[in-house]
Structure 1
């Protein structure tokens, strides 16, 4: 395998301008993700794709990933490509903020999301996962009825976020907020994938649903903030919302403004539960397709955990479980691609990049690049043995993006996934519905167009906690 850390020589830019008919046929036949992979395989690591009056640069090679995200990061930001997310969902929260606003938010929020900082949420991970275990035992285990696994994982990760950010109970609150956020995300994703945009002011059924969901979520967070401010601060719960409301900017001495609290509340909920739920869903799919990996995982869990839930120290004794998680994130990254806009003129590997260029960093393809991954389509957790990981290009793997704008919640998500994978796999085997073959595609984030229906089976020899 070629593990060289730099390109042997500058590679020429490939231009590709599919006709509208070619584009429609290709996406209809292969899905949007499959079509993008075909473009990469046919045209190489740096491709300018022109679609009518619009164009973007498709970036795949790890050297180019490093250039945009690390070495020349000041020349790229989340500009025009994120306007719809700003306007319709996340406002100017941490994910969509730019420039000075982003740096101030990042500095303020980063201490809450360090590896040590996220450990304070560990009891929530344990409690909400245990509730799911009990639900599966009473409702689904051995029933012979498949469940939609993404829905199951969305339910538990949404509960974790509500408890961690807002200290609210689940039940009806969880269902209303979860459903509303997902309605908004789905509507925005559908809008972005349509060749013809219908303005939001047009009273279509979809637009009306979007506006109702947006109003409900915004009002809910405003109400939480108002309730908290109505009681003495010493009575405020120790959650992320309290931290955002009380932490002061070192330079200005001010706390976060009300609208920014709302924006970040929505951001933490939307980004904090959906991507982790998808990772967990793909993990169960991967285990169901790789029995030897599943056997090794179960053997590790049985030897370390016995019948008790994992402690923080136990997780350090579950390296193979974490390797499985990392391999899921490689083959099935919840965000298969992400945009970075050139905010200044740049030169990328000999190619002039004018300010205003939209670059699409194609993580899904980087994670399958044959120059950096042996048998890239094979699910192999041993890729993540320390000695093998150390040999690999540092930017060949970026499921949470990379560089200063790496996802703020990556440590939270990794710890949560590690815990849930360990607890659920200790007690259950999950199997695909017989005959079902998932159709993976880009649905805003990575998903399966025909779902992930799975059967929940008890593992023999395990006891109730």
Structure 2
């Protein structure tokens, strides 16, 4: 299900031409679509049937408003942002995964944390992690060289998960050993999967019921908490001049300008988990879909390789080198357009609102559907075509900024967007200079979503030296 038909469009983008409607399919229709096209297919059908602002109700599930049009993204994220918060939609994320970390909190708590942490992630600040991006990419490159001649494909998403987990744990905690890294990565990914699964259940089993899944979740959550607390305690036991220059040190030493206080240890733990989850899996999925896109578009791959080969020398790319590789960055942006790692993200209406003539009641869940926005035919010519030159500076500047929101938009745009873009650029450059990747012959990737975009039948790929 790589390609989907977009809703028809006969007029320029304007409030008058925005289609709104209802989509209330029978459970039989839902089952048929889910079996054939998965949840992503159901969302695309909701857009086709209900329009750019669709009231969607399926069976006994809570109804939601599916938001696809850039004007509505702007309304919710910018002009009326005070009326759309992360309320009930994020309860399970807060309760099970990220606690009171920056991703899930609202209001004054969010404002204070954002003010404390935003300086860590400016374009200039994330350049300090360039050496980590290079070192972990080099380790993966050397491992790939060792796979030559074995004739076995690797699952590309798993490969990218390994490198991005290593990068974020080194950036966060200066983690030393592969064993520790693997242990924490598996525990956090298990907790993310558990939380995502509960969000999809109509009647989730209470956590106090000792099912195998509940017991495993409680155990892995304790292990992650214990690990981060241990890192914090060991850090505090050292003289401060010996603290490494990582994100943990920045969190421990940042002071609130108004109160002079520092972040409490539990909040450090919660934000450690938040940054790992937000900064690991999303980037891994972008990189996985990058290799998939290159394997499907040899003309793009050839042009990208030509740009990489024009930068002389075999040394790891410097920051100056990266600036000489704009086409590679355009490829990455186009990957995030067609394959946004976060397919959709929810907000909750604080008070009644009206949008395109449709009443949005207080407490309603609105789902901003980035995957659909990135295919809106009023904003993207031939939207299913993979075209990195959409991101030439003059074309990007002329486009509505809310037609593209892979990192969300407005004041709650992802804190780590600069970190992720630089990391993706470095990893892509270092690996693409040395390797080509090929999808296993005959494999048809079934692209679907569980909130995060994925390939439900895996992404087996062969690694070939260039």
What interval of TM-score do these two structures reach, taking the shorter chain for normalisation?
A: over 0.9
2: CA distance between counterparts of 1:377 and 1:127? 35
SS in 2 for 1:356: coil
Other-structure match for 2:110: 102
1:25–1:202: structure 2 CA closer, same or farther, 3 Å change rule? farther
- Give the drift of 1:97: 1.1
Contact 2:343 2:451 in 1 (8 A): no
**Deviation digits for residues 350-408 of structure 1, max 9, x if unmatched?**
22222211100000000011111111111110110111112211110000001100000
1: CA distance between counterparts of 2:433 and 2:12? 39
2: CA distance between counterparts of 1:234 and 1:309? 30
1:10–1:376: structure 2 CA closer, same or farther, 3 Å change rule? closer
Other-structure match for 1:197: 204
Other-structure match for 2:280: 273
| Among 78, 83, 91, the residue aligned to 1:75 | 83
Asked whether 1:358 is paired with 2:355, we answer: no
- Give the drift of 1:333: 0.5
Where does structure 1 differ by over 4 angstroms across 4 or more consecutive aligned residues?
1-6
Contact 2:341 2:452 in 1 (8 A): yes
1:42–1:12: structure 2 CA closer, same or farther, 3 Å change rule? closer
Other-structure match for 1:185: 192
| Among 430, 442, 445, the residue aligned to 2:449 | 442
- Give the drift of 1:169: 1.1
1: CA distance between counterparts of 2:29 and 2:313? 56
1:3–1:42: structure 2 CA closer, same or farther, 3 Å change rule? closer
2: CA distance between counterparts of 1:424 and 1:12? 44
1:444–1:45: structure 2 CA closer, same or farther, 3 Å change rule? closer
Other-structure match for 2:36: 29
Unaligned regions of 5+ residues in structure 1, if any? 460-465
- Give the drift of 1:87: 0.3
- Give the drift of 1:7: 1.3
Other-structure match for 2:233: 226
1:54–1:8: structure 2 CA closer, same or farther, 3 Å change rule? closer
Other-structure match for 2:154: 147
Other-structure match for 1:58: 66
SS in 2 for 1:116: helix
SS in 1 for 2:56: strand
1:144–1:111: structure 2 CA closer, same or farther, 3 Å change rule? same
- Give the drift of 1:338: 0.4
1:201–1:362: structure 2 CA closer, same or farther, 3 Å change rule? same
CA RMSD between the two structures: 1.6
SS in 1 for 2:454: strand
**Deviation digits for residues 149-205 of structure 1, max 9, x if unmatched?**
111111111111111010111311011000000111111112222333222222222
Asked whether 1:394 is paired with 2:401, we answer: yes
SS in 2 for 1:9: helix
**Deviation digits for residues 100-135 of structure 1, max 9, x if unmatched?**
000000011001100001000000001110011111
| Among 336, 339, 346, the residue aligned to 1:329 | 336
2: CA distance between counterparts of 1:200 and 1:428? 46
Other-structure match for 1:159: 166
2: CA distance between counterparts of 1:293 and 1:87? 43
Aligned length: 458
SS in 1 for 2:76: helix
1: CA distance between counterparts of 2:355 and 2:77? 12
- Give the drift of 1:228: 1.1
What pairs with 1:287-436 in structure 2 (closer than 5 Å)? 287-436=294-443
Contact 2:153 2:461 in 1 (8 A): yes
Contact 1:142 1:458 in 2 (8 A): no
Other-structure match for 1:453: 460
Contact 2:61 2:202 in 1 (8 A): no
1: CA distance between counterparts of 2:445 and 2:212? 29
Other-structure match for 2:123: 115
2: CA distance between counterparts of 1:327 and 1:93? 30
- Give the drift of 1:234: 1.4
1:328–1:103: structure 2 CA closer, same or farther, 3 Å change rule? same
Unaligned regions of 5+ residues in structure 2, if any? 1-7
TM-score, with structure 2 as normaliser: 0.95
1: CA distance between counterparts of 2:378 and 2:57? 27
TM-score, with structure 1 as normaliser: 0.96
- Give the drift of 1:347: 2.1
- Give the drift of 1:4: 9.2
2: CA distance between counterparts of 1:396 and 1:389? 11
Contact 1:154 1:273 in 2 (8 A): yes
